[in-house]
Structure 1
């Protein structure tokens, strides 16, 4: 464990950046939500603005063109962005929370030199782990990578499913079997950096979803995709799944932060509505059972914010945070679900109508309990670590 916290951006500079970002969210992103929802896409000019602000390279080191944020700072940015429609966070979060983390933890110096500047400049990444027949069960992974008989590269075949940003991504991190049989500690899985314009790479039409308009997912199909040897993350086979799981910790922190930020947005909306809506001659905010739902929601959001501060500080100190990141993601995503449910209830009949925000909040929030590991899978992971630590006498 490191004794020196990850430095990140200078504190005063970061505070100024966050203040600027909060204004951007309220003055630019929230007013554009109706357009994002109507067209199911973020306007190109807003994506360009986000790239110019450096959001796609938040955690990329400054020497490679990024902002060099530590995890605590990154989570605060995600929480701030998540106050607006989820699509805004989604388009850059894979870059920052998962692709960049995998490069940082497992990439060679050459891979960092090539991909960090490209990611910081705004190239969009996707993360290819889930398949039609496997998600958390890596032993069932069907995508294969076999050595290219004509050179030192690899030939990839398979299908990835529910891949965020795939329809407009520039690069994918693809998990594939490099060994036929499942080996201990998932050593049969390796990771490959694959540009999306590589021959044999294709995507399906974007899937229609319950919520999160403007955020796109689709299948990624690999049909005899030839990649050079340097595409193998870390230059060694058998380490891909470990790198993927390490990056998922950052992804789970991102989802937890997003859940917390969106819950805050929903609660603010409910607080405003409760003060404006009249019943029996007075605002419904005066009714004690409405106050109970407001106060329970505020308390749970506060708890999630405290968890976020703790887990990100642990990451920045260099601690192993698999259990803590999972716990934060579980609590925050489930909390967000409870908050948006209460918000619909506070809105009453209006909460069921699409013309009011409460209905959208309810649909958008549901996926957070599934992203980057379902609640149930993460509960099993937390328990596994608890039992392992108990057996070791910790």
Structure 2
């Protein structure tokens, strides 16, 4: 029989966010309202179920409609198309809270908002906006973004997927790999080369002949995310499904900038969660007749986590304001994504040490966050790729070419 009171249990989600520099003073009432709504959603809908879904490696599909109901899909899309009409800081705060719940759920939201709805809104025709955006915003439709291929990850410009023009349709062939939402998506934004070798984007719908999606299983990371492969074998795509203003790889990368911005906020959410879990645990866990929070090494870890988090909070807020003014650059977004993932990884590793053995169990979220961060640090550009983007900005010499 296990001795009583040996390990504090995390029975309820009593999360409170750290705000050491009173950054809430920089937020508007709307920002705080959006954050509260997202936080309440996580506590009510994600925290109670996420560990079981992660253990089963299962995406909680029942959350899709609920995420649509709270406005998590396309919050920055204009209201006339079903979006929330919110600013970029609101979007970031929403993703911060959702990723605190789980990276797999935030990935679903990011793909829907930044990689599916964003390109349709920015580059699509009026007919495409009317047809897809309201249904994507509500969660009636779920989308995915097909850019990465098995042989072309960090170098998407080398893609082999292609289409040729016929009289009243395009004939698409190829495949895409590591595609979030692929196995459950109703539509896919697929990037491919045309007859002239130019990269364009097509909207594919589930059920098109020759279009299949398979799930990647046996994942140790992002276990609650539905990730798969898209395959195209002589798929006839109607000409009206070509996104007219999506011209070249630069437009695909513009979409990725939107997603990377959200990841920077989401990673901050993980760091904040790990800090709060560690702080509470350290105050409750007794060793050598006193709480481990009284030991210098534990305090050093907590102080380092809070310092990192405060810096990352300032970075996210400033980047959000720059995006509101349409002044945020790719290099600035790369810095934020890379920095905040590193902050989250350090926080999760420190939390794992503070929690000791119980930190590897589903009683606490630390190990799940650690495993998820292994993927978050490499998708939408690896840490090294973002370092090289910064290097190219600093020196004017792109080392990856």
TM-score, structure 2 normalization: 0.87
Quick one: distance in 2 between partners of 1:137 and 1:303? 31
Q: Is residue 31–residue 93 contact of structure 2 (8 Å, CA) maintained in 1?
A: no
- Give the number of aligned pairs: 371
Are residues 1:325 and 2:329 paired? Answer: no
Match of 1:379 in 2: 387
For 1:145, what is the secondary structure of its paired residue?
strand
**Alpha-carbon shift at residue 90 of structure 1 (Å):** 2.1
Q: Is residue 229–residue 235 contact of structure 1 (8 Å, CA) maintained in 2?
A: no
Q: Is residue 82–residue 261 contact of structure 1 (8 Å, CA) maintained in 2?
A: yes
Quick one: distance in 2 between partners of 1:349 and 1:235? 53
Quick one: distance in 1 between partners of 2:260 and 2:125? 24
Match of 1:275 in 2: 283
**Alpha-carbon shift at residue 113 of structure 1 (Å):** 2.3
CA 1:206 to 1:227, structure 2 compared with 1: closer, same or farther past 3 Å?
Answer: same
For 2:163, what is the secondary structure of its paired residue?
strand
Quick one: distance in 2 between partners of 1:86 and 1:190? 29
Are residues 1:15 and 2:32 paired? Answer: yes
Deviating 4+ runs (over 6 angstroms): none
What are the residue-to-residue correspondences of 1:1-394 with 2, within 5 Å? 12-122=29-139, 123-148=141-166, 151-179=167-195, 188-234=198-244, 239-353=247-361, 355-388=363-396
Q: Is residue 233–residue 240 contact of structure 1 (8 Å, CA) maintained in 2?
A: no
For 2:200, what is the secondary structure of its paired residue?
strand
Task: Identify unmatched segments of 5+ residues in structure 2.
Answer: 1-26
Q: Is residue 171–residue 235 contact of structure 2 (8 Å, CA) maintained in 1?
A: yes
Quick one: distance in 1 between partners of 2:36 and 2:301? 29
Quick one: distance in 2 between partners of 1:220 and 1:174? 9
Q: Is residue 191–residue 241 contact of structure 1 (8 Å, CA) maintained in 2?
A: no
Quick one: distance in 1 between partners of 2:327 and 2:47? 36
TM-score, structure 1 normalization: 0.88
Most deviating of 380-389 and 135-144: 380-389
**Alpha-carbon shift at residue 304 of structure 1 (Å):** 1.2
For 1:204, what is the secondary structure of its paired residue?
strand
Quick one: distance in 2 between partners of 1:385 and 1:234? 30
Match of 1:185 in 2: none
**Alpha-carbon shift at residue 13 of structure 1 (Å):** 4.6
CA 1:339 to 1:126, structure 2 compared with 1: closer, same or farther past 3 Å?
Answer: same
- The Cα RMSD (Å) is 2.1
Residues 161-193 of structure 1 show CA distances to partners (whole Å, capped at 9, x for unaligned) of 000010101111111111465xxxxxx211111
CA 1:258 to 1:129, structure 2 compared with 1: closer, same or farther past 3 Å?
Answer: same
Quick one: distance in 2 between partners of 1:269 and 1:203? 38
Quick one: distance in 1 between partners of 2:363 and 2:324? 42
**Alpha-carbon shift at residue 353 of structure 1 (Å):** 4.5
Quick one: distance in 1 between partners of 2:361 and 2:245? 53
**Alpha-carbon shift at residue 379 of structure 1 (Å):** 1.1
Residues 256-282 of structure 1 show CA distances to partners (whole Å, capped at 9, x for unaligned) of 111110111111111121111111111
For 2:77, what is the secondary structure of its paired residue?
coil
Q: Is residue 179–residue 189 contact of structure 1 (8 Å, CA) maintained in 2?
A: no
For 2:279, what is the secondary structure of its paired residue?
helix
Quick one: distance in 2 between partners of 1:131 and 1:165? 15
Match of 1:5 in 2: none
Quick one: distance in 1 between partners of 2:227 and 2:193? 23
